[in-house]
Amino acid sequence: MPRIASVLLPMPLPEAFDYAEPEGLELAVGDHVSVPLGPRTVRGVVTALRDGVGGNRRLKPVLNRVDDPRLPANVITFVEWAARYSVDVPGWPLAMALRGLRHPPAKPEKAVALTGVQPGRMTPARLKVLAAAQAGPLSAAELARQAGVSAGVVKGLVDEGALEPVLVAADESIAQPDLTLPAQTLNPSQKAAADEMADMLAAGGFQAALLDGVTGSGKTEVYLEVAAAALEADPAAQVLVLLPEIALTQAVMGRFEQRFGAAPIEWHSGVSPPRRRRAWEAVADGRARIVVGARSALFLPFTNLALIVVDEEHDGSFKQEEGFIYQARDLAVARAKIEGALVVLASATPSLESLWNAHQGRYRWLRLGARHGTAQLPDVHLIDMRATPPEPGRWLSPTLVKAVSLTLQKGEQSLLFLNRRGYAPLVLCRACGEKLKSPDSDSWLVEHRYTGRLVCHLTGFSMKKPEACPHCGAKDSLVSIGPGVERVEEEARYLFPDARIAVFSSDTVFDPAGARALVDSMAAGEIDILVATQAAAKGHNFPNLTLVGVIDADLSLRGGDLRAGERTFQLLAQATGRAGRHEKPGRAYLQTYSPEHAVLQALKAQDRDAFVEAEMAMREEAGLPPFGRLAAVIASGPDAEALEAYVQTLAAATPNAEGVEVYGPADAPLGLVRGRRRKRFLVRAGRNVDLPGFMAAWRARAKIPNSVRVTIDIDPYSFL
Ligand code: ADP
């Protein structure tokens, strides 16, 4: 009986296409195949097979099978689920799942092997070679080295037929975790949490846990033991750990290496294509038992995934905002469901969504209430910048300056935290008042002194800082407004000329190795003052760091989107949580112009529960997540009229659905980006509404003009 293969292509197409299975090819679901698409030949994956020959138009045949490891059926299910959830085409998540295959497989290596033929003339040198070759194929050079003879001897044996050239697979050995190494002795609350999760693993099937422990309580130690339990219980089990930052990946890789004697597989955008290929294959065939990576590791071809850990689960970086839009925390739970695995969400400041799920009993709630050992949470002080302002043109208040000097005197380390890259966030002309903007975009240019350039952080546009105002032509009239980390560094150097000062931001640290070097030198005490953006504020463990100063605690409260309070609390609790993680007590100072704000009061009192309760009440009142669902439509285009006509048509086509409210269209706060105007709708729905279904149906009701691009963002984090 002839069969039809549904082939999904990693491209923006609405569904899988049907092709005929040629006789004798014997395809299976998950096979990689080449198929014709119009005039082109493209690669895809077989997602289903059924008997039949198609309708009255003959189907084109599959051309051939590509010899790559099969995509597991669970990954196909996951890709389809993710596409539906994100209201996007399945080709995008498929492309993510195939990312490791872009690089060709490692080529087999040339070697020589014994044939059994005896050479005509035997010499002591030849005997040594034949003896060394007993162990199996080796490269000619290696064989000569092992036998201690010249290359000519080996060549002579090949010429006489005693050895023959063969191809062997490239070395793909992957270090395996050593489960006999001793575990860290857990303290009683860590042990209780680890035991409970080990029991959940033993029970099997999909389960979820929220590992909720203050900074420094030892959450990492706990999930290392849960990973050990998973790997021990099943010799084929695989473990995935997701982290929000590449810099953190490095630190956690190190902890796993220490615990299991072998480095896990690493997966993120900084990993080279050949290593990605190797990682992908090792995950697919089960040699990779532990993977540590960024959100995209969720799409790897695990065949026996037993445990997913999402560390710093509250972190906004788990939301991918470009290309295929998804929230990795939610997809991690979905993948665990498909795999029948345990998912552990870990954080000191969990998202309100996860806290709500824990509260409702959907996630097992495991709390670690205290820091490990004698370490205490830092004392948090608020500095009222209205009462004790810095000197004009400066950014550190006298109170903070004094605290830093005291810390320096004691030989301890300080972290000055400001979540803003560059030197100054705004450049203004003193003569005409013009603020320098990115061309064709609603975005200020940020001054970077290290490079002498003005940079748009939104579009990547940059230019040399001009000497005259581009608007009025006045010379030397441009002034830098406000601080970024580079400016704080400048001030710190001026105030503490003898201190060793370093800056940690994405402008000073470009890759994982650089991040690791800086983190190591901080941990080794080679830096006195670290000026850092959020890249350094999370997760890290610096034993001698006892002071954290937050330059602008109000920064992320401005703008006031729905998560502003939550995000500020999380970020500052993380940043202040870097201080005093070992024996020495820590202090944190938050500079603020609104010390009475509920978020700052909660940080000072270290009362997360009160903050969460107040925030939850407010969200419930307004029907916002986690009590309701949100989605956004962003339409953009260079032609203002066509865009306006489209959003009006879309508005008029809004389906009538119970429990759904649609707001808009409105000009987006970022109304212009790269010459494209932007409009937004916001949709709010009850928890029981199928919001992806509603959005898909709505979008289908209005034809999208060629010049307009429409993006649907389920559970938006950015409202720009
Ligand atoms: P978290 O992930 O909760 O921020 P970590 O796991 O990084 O905390 O632990 C903080 C510090 O305490 C680390 O230096 C860690 O090695 C140490 N620590 C935590 N638990 C233990 C333990 N049971 N025994 C020894 N050291 C521990």
Q: Where are the alpha helices (DSSP H) in 577-627?
A: 598-605, 608-622
Which of helix, strand or coil describes residue 308? strand
CA of 217 to the centre of ligand 1 (A): 6
Q: CATH 1.10.1740.10: does it fit domain 374-420+485-622?
A: no
CA angle, residues 481, 486, 487, in degrees to nearest 5: 45
Ligand 1 atom 19: residue of nearest CA: 218
Ligand 1 atom 22: residue of nearest CA: 186
| pLDDT per position as a tens digit, 494-516 | 999 999 999 998 888 877 788 88
Percent of the chain scored above 90 by pLDDT? Answer: 73
Closest-lying ligand 1 atom to the alpha carbon of residue 368: 3
Q: Alpha-carbon distance 681 to 689, whole Å?
A: 18
For tokens 């959020």, name the residue.
534
- H or E segment and range at residue 68: none
Q: Alpha-carbon distance 122 to 108, whole Å?
A: 31
Which pLDDT score, from 0 to 100, does residue 175 have? 85
Q: CATH 3.30.565.10: does it fit domain 628-714?
A: no
Quick check: 237 pLDDT over 90?
A: yes
Q: Pull the structure tokens for residue 518.
A: 């800086």
Q: Alpha-carbon distance 189 to 182, whole Å?
A: 19
Q: 482-513 burial, b if ≥16 CB within 10 A, otherwise e?
A: bbbbbbbbbbbeeebeebebbbbbebbbeebe
Helix 485-495 × helix 398-409 angle, to 10°: 60
Which pLDDT score, from 0 to 100, does residue 369 have? 80
Quick check: 560 pLDDT over 70?
A: no
Q: What average pLDDT does this structure show over 90-104? A: 94
Percent of the chain scored above 70 by pLDDT? Answer: 99
Q: Under a CB-based contact definition with an 8 Å cutoff, are residues 249 and 292 in contact?
A: yes
Residue 439 known to bind ligand: no
Whole-Å CA distances, 267 to 115, 297, 332, 422, 575 = 42, 6, 15, 28, 26
Amino acid at 562: L
Amino acid at 143: L
Which backbone phi and psi does 324 adopt, to 5 degrees? -80, 115
For tokens 């109170």, name the residue.
399
Closest-lying ligand 1 atom to the alpha carbon of residue 185: 23
Test site for ligand 1: of 541, 576, 582, most ligand atoms within 8 A of the Cβ: 541
Which pLDDT score, from 0 to 100, does residue 249 have? 87
Which pLDDT score, from 0 to 100, does residue 84 have? 96
What's the CATH number for 3-97?
Answer: 3.40.1440.60
Which pLDDT score, from 0 to 100, does residue 310 have? 98
Closest-lying ligand 1 atom to the alpha carbon of residue 214: 3
CA of 582 to the centre of ligand 1 (A): 9
Name the band, by pLDDT with cuts 50, 70 and 90, for residue 559. Answer: low
The number of beta carbons lying within 10 Å of the beta carbon of residue 394 is 16
| pLDDT per position as a tens digit, 642-670 | 999 999 999 999 999 999 999 989 999 88
Which pLDDT score, from 0 to 100, does residue 509 have? 83
Sorted by sequence, the CB contacts under 8 Å of residue 533 that are 6+ apart come out as 417, 418, 419, 420, 421, 485, 504, 505, 506
Closest-lying ligand 1 atom to the alpha carbon of residue 213: 3
Q: What average pLDDT does this structure show over 76-98? A: 96
Question: What's the chain's average pLDDT?
Answer: 92
Name the band, by pLDDT with cuts 50, 70 and 90, for residue 245. Answer: confident
Helix 188-203 × helix 219-233 angle, to 10°: 30
Q: 117-141 burial, b if ≥16 CB within 10 A, otherwise e?
A: eebeeeeebbebbbebbeeebbebe
Quick check: 230 pLDDT over 90?
A: yes
Which pLDDT score, from 0 to 100, does residue 193 have? 97
CA angle, residues 172, 176, 177, in degrees to nearest 5: 160
Least confident of 152-156, 179-183, 491-495, 539-543: 539-543
Test site for ligand 1: of 221, 310, 371, 583, most ligand atoms within 8 A of the Cβ: 221
Residue 718 known to bind ligand: no
Quick check: 441 pLDDT over 90?
A: no
CA of 219 to the centre of ligand 1 (A): 7
Ligand 1 atom 5: residue of nearest CA: 218
CA of 197 to the centre of ligand 1 (A): 18
**Which runs of E-coded beta strand occur in 52-199?**
64-66, 109-114, 163-168
Quick check: 717 pLDDT over 70?
A: yes
- H or E segment and range at residue 449: none
Which pLDDT score, from 0 to 100, does residue 213 have? 93
Quick check: 537 pLDDT over 80?
A: no
Q: Under a CB-based contact definition with an 8 Å cutoff, are residues 266 and 253 in contact?
A: yes
Test site for ligand 1: of 187, 195, 220, 250, most ligand atoms within 8 A of the Cβ: 220
Name the band, by pLDDT with cuts 50, 70 and 90, for residue 539. Answer: low
Which pLDDT score, from 0 to 100, does residue 110 have? 86
Residue 469 known to bind ligand: yes
- CATH superfamily, domain 188-368, is P-loop containing nucleotide triphosphate hydrolases (3.40.50.300)
Q: Alpha-carbon distance 141 to 111, whole Å?
A: 9
Q: Which of 224, 225, 215 is nearest to 371 (CA)?
A: 215
Name the band, by pLDDT with cuts 50, 70 and 90, for residue 690. Answer: very high
Quick check: 601 pLDDT over 80?
A: yes
CA angle, residues 252, 256, 260, in degrees to nearest 5: 175
The HSE-up count of residue 88 (CA atoms within 13 Å, CB side) is 24
Ligand 1 atom 17: residue of nearest CA: 218
CA of 372 to the centre of ligand 1 (A): 6
Which pLDDT score, from 0 to 100, does residue 171 have? 66
CA of 213 to the centre of ligand 1 (A): 11
Which pLDDT score, from 0 to 100, does residue 720 have? 84
Q: What average pLDDT does this structure show over 597-617? A: 91
Comparing 42 with 116, the larger pLDDT belongs to: 42
Quick check: 334 pLDDT over 80?
A: yes
Which pLDDT score, from 0 to 100, does residue 634 have? 96
Ligand 1 atom 10: residue of nearest CA: 216
Q: Pocket residues for ligand 1 (CB within 6 Å)?
A: 184-187, 190, 213, 215-221, 372, 541, 581
Which pLDDT score, from 0 to 100, does residue 395 have? 95
Which pLDDT score, from 0 to 100, does residue 336 have? 98
CA of 570 to the centre of ligand 1 (A): 20
Q: Under a CB-based contact definition with an 8 Å cutoff, are residues 87 and 711 in contact?
A: no
CA of 216 to the centre of ligand 1 (A): 6
Q: Alpha-carbon distance 303 to 192, whole Å?
A: 30
Quick check: 374 pLDDT over 90?
A: no
Q: What average pLDDT does this structure show over 229-248? A: 93
Amino acid at 593: Y
Which pLDDT score, from 0 to 100, does residue 223 have? 97
Q: Alpha-carbon distance 158 to 143, whole Å?
A: 12
CA of 511 to the centre of ligand 1 (A): 26
